[in-house]
Copies of this chain bind each other. A is one copy, B any other.
């Protein structure tokens, strides 16, 4: 736990700001959806495997973004993408009878995801020394609502929405550095997902991998740490410790 592994061999000494992925890295989307789904199931007498439902919802996310990326679909924010996937899943899981209010409330569970146990303490510590921003595919309104609901803390909310490109498109990482008024190498991308870090590195940012072994549930085999990142952290408090915050 807490092992420092500067896999690229150069600790990023000039870091001034952190750009943090949110879904999976800071908040536990799967556990939160299961918990809200089970509460809804009890209220509406529905017998659904909510873990399977959460996984299916998340599985629809990459293909939905790919439609935007390819230009097949005009810019659509995550509420829109999530709702399209949800409407299909509701039929597949036999939930088509939910009323519109329930559907819309369920769709906005992504605005109410719970933080991992270390997230608030870690972000609070990191902010004492660094500018800490989101850099998420969530839109600004979602991130604002999520931040208030989960009690998170940031210096600013940066979102894929601001450049209308979804990560891992290069434009998102470039935008973050530009809006923060920094050179890319002064910005540390923080994420639990290697593909996000590979793309950030490609845009010139420093990279920190945060292990979230439970993101996809307890039955998923632990992923190996990625090789080409600047920092590997056990969680956000460990990241703060490694960064001297």
Contacts and interface: CB of A to CB of B under 8 A. Distances in A.
Nearest to A148: B155
Given A148-B155, A157-B156, A180 B141 contact: yes
B131 A180 contact: no
A3 interface: no
Interface string A138-181: 01111110011000000111000110000000000000000111
Given A157-B157, A162-B162, A180 B148 contact: no
A191 B11 CA distance: 44
A63 to B, nearest CB: 24
A153 to B, nearest CB: 9
Contacts of A141: 179-182
Instruction: Output the residue of A79, A142, A179, A180 with the most chain B CB within 10 A.
Output: A179
A239 to B, nearest CB: 19
A144 B131 contact: yes
Contact of A140 (B143, B144, B147, B180): B180
A161 B155 CA distance: 17
A152 to B, nearest CB: 11
A156 B140 contact: yes
A142 B131 CA distance: 12
Given A131-B144, A141-B179, 18 more contacts: A79-B181, A133-B144, A139-B179, A140-B156, A140-B179, A140-B180, A141-B181, A141-B182, A142-B181, A143-B156, A144-B155, A144-B156, A144-B180, A148-B155, A155-B157, A156-B157, A157-B157, A162-B162
Interface of A: 79, 131, 133, 139-144, 147-148, 155-157, 161-162, 179-182
14 contacts: A79-B181, A131-B144, A139-B181, A140-B156, A140-B179, A140-B180, A141-B179, A141-B180, A141-B181, A141-B182, A142-B181, A143-B156, A144-B155, A155-B157
